[in-house]
Structure 1
C-alpha cells in the first residue's frame, strides 16, 4: 500500500534537511575557527577521552621535569661545594707539608695555624650551604644547620647525624636521590675523628709551635673520601641528565600525539566546508521547487 505524500511532508523534509545541512556547516565552521576537531565531548567521545589521557600525561611529564630541575639544582650546588671543600683540604695539605720544613720557626707555625683556622671556618660555612633556604648536607632535616660553630666547646663541629636520602620521583616508579650522605664527607669515619676534629688536632700542634706533619695521612684519607663521594655524585648527575633528555623527548611525542588526535586538518576542513556550501545551495534550490505555488504567484 503506497503512502500519500502531502505538501506538508515535503515541506517538513525539506526543512529538516536544510537544518541538517546548516548544522554540518556550523560544525565545519567551528573546526575552522577553533582549529580543533571537536568543541565538546559529545562531538566525538573517543577523541575527547584520548585528549584527556594525553593532557594528563603531559601534566605528569611536566611535574617530573620540575622534579628533575630541582634534583639538578641540588646536585650542581653539592658538586660545586664539594669542589671548594676539596680546594680547602688541598691547601691544608700544603701547609702540613710546609710545617715539616726545619727552617720554619715557631712563629711561622702559629701563622699557619691562623690560616688553617680560617680555612676551618670556611669549611663550616660550606657545610651549611643552602639551596632555596634548605641545607643540602642535613639529610631530611633541611631546616637545621648541620654545622654548629659553638659545638665542641666553641671550636665548631659537624653535629648533624641525619643520613636519610631525599628522593624525587622523576618518572613513574623511578626515584633519584638529590642529596649526598654528608656523614660520609664531614663525619668520616666517625664524629670523633671527622674532618673538623682532625683540623682541631692540627691547630693544637701548630698553635703550640710544633709541626703537624703527622696528620698528613688523616688529611689524605679525608680528601680521598671526598673524591669518592664526588665521583658517586657525578654518576648520579649523569643519570639525571639522561632522564631529563628522555622527558624532553617524551613531551614532544605526547604533544604530537595530542595534536594528531585533536587538531583539525585545516585544508581538509576548508574543502569540506566549500563542498557543504555547494550542497546547501543545491538543497535550497531544490526546496524552492518543492514548495507549491500560491494564488499570489498566478496574480503576477
Structure 2
C-alpha cells in the first residue's frame, strides 16, 4: 500500500534536513575556530579517550624529566666536589713529598702542617656540600651535616633514588662513606690521616713515609669519581630519550585531536553549497498558498 505524501510531510522533512545541514556547518565552523576535531567527548569518544591517554603520558614524562634534571644536578655537583677533593689531596701529596727534603728547617715543616690543616678544613667544607639545603654526601640524612668537629661523623650510606622512567630508579647521591670515611689498613679515614700528618710535621718529622696511605685515598677517590661519571652518562641518555618521547607523544596527540584546517575549510565550503542547494530545493517544494495569490 502506497503512502500518501502530504505537504506537511514535505515541509517537515525539508526543515529536518536543513537543520541537519546547519548542524554540520556549525560543527565545521567550531573546528575551524578552535583548531580541534572535537570540543566535547560526545563528539568522538575514541578521540577523547586517546587524548586523555596522551595527556597522561605527557604528564608522566614531564615528571620523569624533572626527576632526571634533579638527578643530573646532584651528580654534577658531586662530580665537581670530587674533582675539588682530588686537587686538595694532590696538593697535600706534594707537601708530603717536599717534607722529605732533609734541608728543610723545622719552621718549614710546621708551615706545611698549618697548610695541611687548612686543606683539611677545605675537605670538610666539600664533604658538607649542599644542594637546595640538603647535604649531598650524607646519605638519606640530608639535613644533618656529615662533617662536624674535624671529622666525618655521618654513618648513613643509604641511596637517594629517583624514578626517571616507569619502574626505573636511579641513585643520585654518592656514598660519602666510601669517600670521606674510607679507612686504610690502620683504620684511618682521610681526615684522621691528615691529623696524623699535621701532628708529625709540627714535631719536625717529615711525612713522606705516609705516601702509600695518601695514594690509597687518592686512588679510591678517583675510582668513585669514575663510577659517578658512568651514572652521569646514563642520566644524559635518559634525558635524551625522555625528550624524544615527549616529541613523539605530542605529535600523536596533535594527529589525534588537531583539525586539518585545509580539509575543514574545504568541507565547510562544500557544505555551504549543499545548504544553499537545499534551500533552493525547499523553496520549490513549498507549494504556494491562497495568501500568495492575494498579494
TM-score if structure 2 supplies the norm length? 0.98
CA RMSD of aligned residues (A): 1.0
User: How big is each residue's C-alpha offset from its partner over 1:188-217, in whole Å with a ceiling of 9 and x where there is no partner?
Assistant: 027941010000000110111211112111
Q: Which residue of 2 aligns with 1:153?
A: none
Q: Which residue of 2 aligns with 1:187?
A: 181
Task: Return the match for 1:228 from 223, 227, 236.
Answer: 223
Partners of 1:60 and 1:249 in 2: CA distance: 14
Q: Which residue of 2 aligns with 1:255?
A: 250
Q: Which residue of 2 aligns with 1:237?
A: 232
Q: Which residue of 1 aligns with 2:13?
A: 13
Q: Which residue of 2 aligns with 1:121?
A: 121
Count the aligned residue pairs: 294
Greater than 6 Å deviation, 4+ residue runs: none
Partners of 1:246 and 1:104 in 2: CA distance: 59
Q: SS where residue 176 of structure 1 aligns?
A: strand
Q: Which residue of 2 aligns with 1:160?
A: 154
Task: Return the match for 1:174 from 161, 168, 188.
Answer: 168
Counterparts of 1:273-288 in structure 2, within 5 Å, are 273-288=268-283
Q: Which residue of 1 aligns with 2:32?
A: 32
Partners of 1:133 and 1:32 in 2: CA distance: 51
Partners of 1:40 and 1:92 in 2: CA distance: 70
How much has 1:100 moved relative to structure 2?
Answer: 0.5
Q: Which residue of 1 aligns with 2:23?
A: 23
* Pair 1:209-2:204 in alignment: yes
Q: Which residue of 1 aligns with 2:135?
A: 135
TM-score if structure 1 supplies the norm length? 0.96
Partners of 1:215 and 1:28 in 2: CA distance: 84
How much has 1:288 moved relative to structure 2?
Answer: 1.1
User: How big is each residue's C-alpha offset from its partner over 1:4-43, in whole Å with a ceiling of 9 and x where there is no partner?
Assistant: 1111111111111111000000000010011110000000
Partners of 2:197 and 2:9 in 1: CA distance: 109
How much has 1:299 moved relative to structure 2?
Answer: 2.3
Partners of 1:188 and 1:141 in 2: CA distance: 19
Point out where structure 1 has 5 or more consecutive residues left out of the alignment.
151-155
Q: Which residue of 1 aligns with 2:292?
A: 297
Partners of 1:237 and 1:7 in 2: CA distance: 81
Point out where structure 2 has 5 or more consecutive residues left out of the alignment.
none
Partners of 1:18 and 1:215 in 2: CA distance: 98
User: How big is each residue's C-alpha offset from its partner over 1:141-167, in whole Å with a ceiling of 9 and x where there is no partner?
Assistant: 11110000x2xxxxx100001110111
Q: Which residue of 1 aligns with 2:98?
A: 98
Partners of 1:202 and 1:273 in 2: CA distance: 87
